């Protein structure tokens, strides 16, 4: 019996099982409920500590925040069902905590109530979030509007020069009683532009051009537009004396360039430029010079008999908080005075919630950034990756610049703590960032096939 | 690209760790030093967030608190501020605290851990207890009598209960109203500047913080030393004393106001206040014994607290004989606070025993329950009881037939000693008028009050000021006020 003719059929390997990721929308809902409850609890704690009764608006406040969060959740359920379930709850919790802190500080300044306006802006922010999630079906659409976006960003950055300076910085425009900080919106637009441009030109940036010593210099044609845009934005910011934001753009630029090209040289060049810029600005600009002096000697004004400056007051607030804090409503961070609800909002959290509370807030930001990076890692195409990394880095750098500033780690530069600080433009922008991250993570997780991207 | 995204992620982790470590540095490691920083107003804010406890005199608070609704919320108020200022001191939001307000600040402000319901409770809850009250030993009528007696003059009064050391009156004149200093506004600053610029130094507590040459009132100490050491055995026997007395080793001659001092007995010399007799006695007793007796009365003790510190009364321990002679009549470097001289009179009235004086009867919790009581004080035997009996006789003589007649009280045994202390360059200053005394009602078992009064009056004519004339009536008023009360 011949075995000829008998072919041993080798079985085809089974088609790879498409392992879909779980959607986890239920977890998201549970976390949102938790975030809303925590915020309402904080609101009640302030009222109990100050007046011994529940604040009158507690139910309305909780309901408002809850409805907003639920609408956002429904939008995500509808149009981004695979999105990372942590992004939205973190945004809700930070926004809610910010409202509690601002409401708490409003008690010290009866003539200047900021919490109701902040609630309106939060509503607008969530509305923008819902709009982005509903209307932007694919983040890659943004790539088409790269140059429109960048021109819009530059216009937004230049606009405040035409308006009078507020507290030494020309970063506000006032329309019909509302103060808007257009630079905040420009952040997102610039991040989109950097991501789109680098995604399109990253090979050219990495592999063409002359080589000088160990450094691969890209051709001017490729690098030109990006450096020009960056220079214009930083120049405008220095003119407007908003150094925090220019530091932010610079950091964003370096991080994205490094991620896109993989050239360590960019980091070296970036750090060198940053150092040179810092020294030059520190020498030449008296405004900046005094900030650095204050950072090095926060208590010099006390020794000079002029009383504590804002940074010293901020440090005192943090110190008073200690490990566990004084409790909501029981601190004295209002001594910081001007900008206590915006730039220095973290000092109130530090005093009343203690190191425990601050660490929790930092970890929330850390988690938000980490989810952003995860979305970037899970994403396959370069634009999405760079966009997610850019937006996450934006949040990380902003938190570091302002939180490091108010705790005396680095010189203080005015900037809003994402979600926490008073400031409508900031809240709206941060909701836009979260919306874009939700969109990118949804597309990344929807397309996930069980293999890591290379 | 994945690798580089991860690197960027690690960079963000680095930023997070830096923030967390720095927050721990500020909030835990540096926190104690930041809390102590003079620019940090939080300690002040929490200190003035609640009404301050009260200082109680004769069952009635002489202090209060006013809600200003400002950042530093409660301000101190005083009833009869100038009268009690030498006891209460002030409690200012700008200039700190003095005297009882300072010494009992822990209880009054509520910071004293003893006020907590359980040990370490407040460290855990971060709460501050309501302030407790401080009940003083003061006798309101005696205080008022002393305050009225000194009205318009400069001087001080200190009165004690000899058997216990309780301070019954403590007055310094001119005085001031502490209330304008309580706040933190420009009015407080103006009041502060005005009080400090005042030539009469109203902020100085003359009863305990100022020393004067005690002059002839120091002869009580010298007589006690002479009797105790055996230099004088019979205080009625004539002493071998020249008049004038040449100070040993010098050509300086010491004279007397009275003419009958030559060879007078100690008893006579005490009544006549003979400088020559007591200067010579001091030299005969010797520096060592004089110092020992003076120190037993409380001289050279810089650590006395009632509970605020009392200035050190001095008796120089490095004297040659001439200096010792002068020191023994309360001149040269001998200096005493009015409170110290009240202690001297109290020792005579109390069988030779000296009790450290105190001003706080007890401190109470906000509800009124007792926190701390004064407890018993150290006792020193300044002289033998027999010596004390003789000194009582001599001091009684002064009131009955000597310069202290104006201190006599009907229905009471009163003993005293006048003094007119020279001071200033070449004794050019207006002399200080002293009177120290004690009184025992006829129905009392022991002397109930010992007083020291000093009047320094720059306005008076030089010859007009004297212990018996200016100071004795004030002492009498104070003693009467005490004896009248049940």
A50, A300, A320, A353, best to mutate vs chain B, most B CBs in 10 Å: A320
Active-site residue flag, B216: yes
Compute how many other C-beta atoms are within 10 angstroms of the C-beta atom of residue B214: 32
**Residue A2 confidence (pLDDT) above 50:** no
Can you say how many angstroms the Cα of residue A246 is from the centroid of all Cα atoms in its chain? 14
CB A47 within 8 A of CB A54: yes
Using alpha carbons, select from A20, A51, A52, A130 the residue that is nearest to residue A435.
A130
pLDDT value for A217: 65
| Residue A182 C-beta-side C-alpha neighbours within 13 Å | 21
Share of chain A above pLDDT 70, in %: 89
- Distance to chain B for A224, nearest Cα, Å: 23
pLDDT value for B259: 79
* Average pLDDT of chain B, as a whole number: 89
Q: State how far the Cα of B206 lies from the Cα of B193, in Å rounded to an integer.
A: 20
| Secondary structure class of B358 (helix, strand, coil) | strand
- Distance to chain A for B28, nearest Cα, Å: 6
pLDDT value for A173: 76
Question: Residue B28: which of A299, A323, A332 has the nearest Cβ?
Answer: A323
Q: State how far the Cα of A331 lies from the Cα of A315, in Å rounded to an integer.
A: 13
pLDDT value for B212: 92
The reply to whether omega before B244 is within 30° of 0 (cis) is: yes
Compute how many other C-beta atoms are within 10 angstroms of the C-beta atom of residue A234: 19
Q: Which residues contact A255 (CB under 8 A, 6 or more apart)?
A: A389, A390, A393, A397, B8, B11
Instruction: Name the packing angle between helices A243-261 and B2-24 (round to 10°).
Output: 140
pLDDT value for A450: 60
Judging by beta carbons within 10 Å of its beta carbon (0-12, 13-18, 19+), is residue A232 exposed, middle or buried?
middle
**A206 or A304, greater pLDDT:** A304
Q: State how far the Cα of A261 lies from the Cα of A259, in Å rounded to an integer.
A: 6
Chain A residues with CB under 8 Å of B7 CB are 258-259
**DSSP per position, A406-430:** HTTSS-----PPTTTSS-HHHHHHH
Residue A436's pLDDT band (cuts 50, 70, 90)? very high
Share of chain B above pLDDT 70, in %: 97
Contact A354 B27 (CB under 8 A): yes
Task: For residue range B358-395, list pLDDT tens digits in order.
Answer: 999 999 998 888 998 987 777 889 999 999 999 999 99
CB A353 within 8 A of CB A427: no
pLDDT value for A224: 77
Q: Which of B109, B216, B241, B466 is catalytic?
A: B216
- List, as ranges, residues 380-409 from A with C-beta within 8 Å of B: 382, 385, 389, 392-393, 396-397, 399-400, 403-404, 407-409
Q: Are strands B379-381 and B412-421 parallel, antiparallel or unpaired?
A: unpaired
Question: Residue B26: which of A319, A369, A376 has the nearest Cβ?
Answer: A319
CB A314 within 8 A of CB A417: no
* B378 contact A CB<8A: no
- Distance to chain A for B50, nearest Cα, Å: 14
Which chain B residue has the Cα nearest residue A388? B5
Q: Which residues contact B444 (CB under 8 A, 6 or more apart)?
A: B483
Query: Taking residues B33-61, what's their average pLDDT?
Result: 90
Question: Residue B12: which of A262, A299, A369 has the nearest Cβ?
Answer: A369
Contact B9 A370 (CB under 8 A): yes
Strand-pairing partners, residue B238, are B265
Residue B234's pLDDT band (cuts 50, 70, 90)? confident
Return the residue matching tokens 């002059």. Answer: B215
Task: For residue range B220-230, list pLDDT tens digits in order.
Answer: 999 999 999 98
**Residue A402 confidence (pLDDT) above 90:** yes
Task: For residue range B456-481, list pLDDT tens digits in order.
Answer: 874 555 455 577 788 899 999 999 99
Share of chain B above pLDDT 90, in %: 62
Q: Which long-range contacts (CB under 8 A, 24 or more apart) does B363-367 make?
A: B363/B104, B363/B107, B363/B132, B363/B133, B363/B134, B363/B135, B364/B132, B364/B133, B364/B135, B365/B115, B365/B132, B366/B53, B366/B115, B366/B129, B366/B130, B366/B131, B366/B132, B366/B133
Backbone angles phi, psi at B26, to 5 degrees: -70, -45
* B17 contact A CB<8A: no
CB B359 within 8 A of CB B306: yes
Which chain A residue has the Cα nearest residue B24? A355
| Secondary structure class of A330 (helix, strand, coil) | coil
pLDDT value for A1: 44
* B28 contact A CB<8A: yes
Domain residue spans in chain B?
A: 215-360+376-484
Question: Residue B19: which of A307, A362, A373 has the nearest Cβ?
Answer: A362
Task: For residue range A23-71, list pLDDT tens digits in order.
Answer: 889 999 999 999 999 999 999 999 999 888 888 888 888 898 999 999 9
Chain A residues with CB under 8 Å of B184 CB are none
Contact A258 B7 (CB under 8 A): yes
**Residue A7 confidence (pLDDT) above 70:** no
Task: For residue range B116-142, list pLDDT tens digits in order.
Answer: 877 777 777 777 788 999 999 999 999
pLDDT value for A176: 62
Query: Taking residues A355-378, what's their average pLDDT?
Result: 95
Which chain A residue has the Cα nearest residue B1? A259
CB B432 within 8 A of CB B420: yes
pLDDT value for A96: 94
* A315 contact B CB<8A: yes
Instruction: Pull the structure tokens for residue A264.
Output: 């360590």
Using alpha carbons, select from A168, A169, A151, A152 the residue that is nearest to residue A160.
A169
* A453 contact B CB<8A: yes
**Residue A454 confidence (pLDDT) above 50:** no
pLDDT value for B452: 96
Q: State how far the Cα of A42 lies from the Cα of B417, in Å rounded to an integer.
A: 73
Chain B residues with CB under 8 Å of A265 CB are none
Which chain B residue has the Cα nearest residue A364? B16
Contact A373 B12 (CB under 8 A): yes
Instruction: Pull the structure tokens for residue B123.
Output: 């460290």
Q: Which residues contact B388 (CB under 8 A, 6 or more apart)?
A: B224, B347, B348, B350, B351, B352
* A67 contact B CB<8A: no
- Distance to chain A for B111, nearest Cα, Å: 17
The reply to whether omega before B336 is within 30° of 0 (cis) is: no
Which letter does DSSP use for residue B475 in this model? H
Query: Taking residues A283-293, what's their average pLDDT?
Result: 81
Query: Taking residues B86-97, what's their average pLDDT?
Result: 92
Q: What angle do CA B246, B252, B257 make, to 5 degrees?
A: 75
Q: State how far the Cα of A317 lies from the Cα of A322, in Å rounded to an integer.
A: 9
Phi-psi region of A421 (alpha: psi -120 to 50; beta: other; left: phi over 0): beta
Which chain B residue has the Cα nearest residue A308? B39
ipTM for the predicted complex comes to 0.91
pLDDT value for A15: 56
Task: For residue range A197-254, list pLDDT tens digits in order.
Answer: 889 888 777 776 666 666 666 667 767 777 777 777 677 767 777 777 878 888 888 8
Q: Which residues contact B205 (CB under 8 A, 6 or more apart)?
A: B86, B89, B99, B156, B172
What fold is seen in the domain B215-360+376-484? Answer: Beta-lactamase (3.40.710)
pLDDT value for A75: 95
- The full length of chain A comes to 454
Which of A128-137, A302-311, B164-173 shows the lowest mean pLDDT across its residues? A302-311
- List, as ranges, residues 106-145 from B with C-beta within 8 Å of A: 126
Evaluate if pTM is beyond 0.80.
no
pLDDT value for A66: 93
- Distance to chain B for A404, nearest Cα, Å: 6
Residue A8's pLDDT band (cuts 50, 70, 90)? low
Question: Residue B1: which of A355, A366, A385 has the nearest Cβ?
Answer: A385
């Amino acid at each position: 019996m011949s075995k000829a003719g008998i072919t041993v059929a080798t079985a085809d390997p089974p088609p790879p099982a498409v392992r879909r990721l779980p959607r986890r929308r239920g977890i998201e809902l549970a976390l949102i409920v938790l975030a809303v409850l925590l915020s309402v609890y904080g609101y009640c704690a302030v009222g109990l500590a100050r007046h011994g009764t529940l604040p009158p608006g507690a139910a309305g406040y909780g309901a408002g925040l809850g409805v907003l969060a639920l609408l956002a959740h429904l939008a995500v359920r509808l149009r981004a069902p695979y999105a990372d379930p942590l992004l939205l709850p973190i945004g809700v919790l930070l926004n809610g905590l910010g409202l509690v802190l601002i409401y708490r500080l409003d008690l010290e300044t009866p003539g200047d109530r900021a919490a109701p306006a902040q609630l309106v802006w939060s509503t607008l922010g969530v509305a923008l979030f819902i709009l982005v999630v509903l209307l932007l079906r694919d983040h890659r659409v943004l790539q088409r509007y790269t140059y429109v976006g960048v021109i819009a960003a530059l216009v937004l950055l230049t606009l405040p020069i035409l308006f009078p300076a507020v507290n030494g910085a020309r970063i506000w425009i006032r329309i019909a009683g509302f103060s808007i900080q257009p630079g905040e919106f420009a952040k997102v637009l610039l991040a989109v532009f950097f991501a789109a441009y680098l995604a399109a030109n990253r090979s050219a940036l990495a592999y063409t051009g002359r080589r000088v010593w160990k450094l691969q210099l890209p051709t001017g044609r490729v690098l030109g537009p990006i450096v020009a845009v960056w220079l214009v934005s930083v120049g405008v910011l220095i003119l407007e004396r908003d150094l925090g934001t220019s530091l932010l753009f610079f950091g964003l630029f370096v991080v994205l360039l490094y991620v896109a090209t993989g050239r360590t040289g960019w980091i070296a060049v970036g750090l060198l430029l940053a150092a040179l810029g810092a020294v030059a600005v520190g020498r030449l600009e008296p405004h900046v010079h005094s900030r650095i002096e204050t950072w090095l000697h926060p208590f010099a004004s006390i020794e000079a008999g002029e009383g504590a400056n804002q940074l010293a007051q901020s440090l005192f607030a943090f110190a008073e908080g200690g490990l566990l804090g004084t409790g909501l409503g029981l601190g004295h961070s209002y001594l910081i005075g001007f900008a206590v609800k915006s730039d220095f909002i973290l000092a109130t959290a530090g005093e009343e919630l203690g190191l425990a509370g601050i660490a929790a807030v930092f970890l929330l930001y850390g988690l938000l950034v980490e989810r952003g990076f995860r979305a970037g890692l899970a994403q396959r195409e370069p634009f999405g990756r760079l966009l997610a990394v850019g937006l996450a880095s934006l949040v990380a750098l902003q938190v570091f610049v302002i939180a490091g500033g108010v705790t005396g780690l680095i010189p203080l530069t005015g900037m809003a703590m994402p979600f926490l600080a008073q400031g409508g433009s900031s809240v709206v922008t941060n909701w836009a960032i979260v919306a874009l991250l939700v969109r990118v993570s949804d597309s990344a997780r929807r397309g996930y096939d069980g293999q890591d991207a290379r | 690209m994945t690798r580089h995204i991860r690197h960027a992620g690690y960079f963000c982790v680095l930023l997070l760790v830096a923030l967390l470590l720095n927050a721990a540095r500020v909030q835990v490691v540096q926190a104690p030093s930041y809390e102590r920083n003079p620019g940090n107003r939080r300690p002040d804010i929490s200190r003035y967030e609640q009404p301050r406890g009260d200082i109680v005199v004769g069952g009635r608070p002489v202090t209060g608190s006013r809600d200003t609704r400002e950042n530093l919320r409660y301000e101190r108020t005083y009833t009869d501020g100038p009268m009690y200022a030498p006891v209460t001191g002030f409690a200012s939001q700008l200039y700190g605290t003095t005297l009882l307000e300072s010494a009992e600040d822990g209880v009054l402000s509520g910071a004293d851990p003893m006020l907590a319901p359980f040990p370490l409770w407040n460290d855990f809850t971060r709460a501050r207890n309501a302030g407790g009250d401080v009940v003083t030993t003061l006798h309101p009528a005696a205080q008022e009598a002393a305050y009225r007696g000194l009205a318009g003059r400069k001087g001080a009064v200190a009165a004690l209960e000899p058997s216990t050391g309780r301070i019954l009156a403590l007055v310094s004149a001119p005085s001031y109203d502490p209330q304008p200093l309580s706040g933190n506004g420009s009015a407080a600053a103006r009041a502060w500047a005005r009080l400090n610029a005042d030539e009469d130094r109203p902020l100085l507590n003359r009863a305990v913080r100022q020393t004067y040459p005690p002059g002839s009132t120091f002869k009580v100490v010298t007589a006690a030393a002479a009797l105790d050491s055996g230099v004088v055995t019979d205080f009625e026997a004539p002493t071998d004393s020249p008049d004038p007395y040449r100070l040993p080793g010098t050509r300086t001659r010491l004279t007397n106001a009275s003419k009958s001092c030559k060879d007078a007995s100690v008893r006579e010399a005490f009544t006549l206040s003979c400088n020559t007799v007591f200067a010579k006695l001091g030299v005969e007793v010797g520096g060592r014994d004089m110092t020992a007796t003076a120190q037993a009365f409380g001289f050279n003790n810089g650590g006395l607290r009632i509970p605020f510190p009392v200035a050190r009364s001095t008796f120089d321990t490095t004297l040659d004989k001439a200096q010792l002679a002068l020191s023994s009549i309360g001149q040269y470097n001998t200096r005493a606070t009015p409170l110290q001289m009240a202690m001297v009179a109290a020792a005579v009235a109390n069988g030779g025993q000296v009790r450290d004086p105190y001003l706080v009867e007890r401190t109470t919790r906000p509800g009124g329950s007792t926190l701390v009581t004064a407890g018993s004080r150290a006792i020193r035997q300044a002289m033998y009881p027999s010596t004390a009996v003789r000194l009582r006789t001599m001091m009684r003589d002064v009131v009955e037939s000597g310069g202290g007649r104006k201190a006599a009280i009907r229905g009471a045994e009163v003993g005293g000693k006048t003094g007119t202390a020279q001071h200033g360059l070449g004794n050019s200053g207006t002399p200080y008028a002293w009177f120290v005394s004690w009184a025992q009602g006829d129905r009392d078992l022991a002397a109930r009050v010992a007083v020291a009064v000093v009047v320094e009056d720059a306005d008076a004519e030089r010859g007009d000021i004297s212990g018996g004339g200016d100071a004795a009536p004030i002492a009498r008023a104070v003693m009467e006020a005490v004896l009248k009360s049940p």
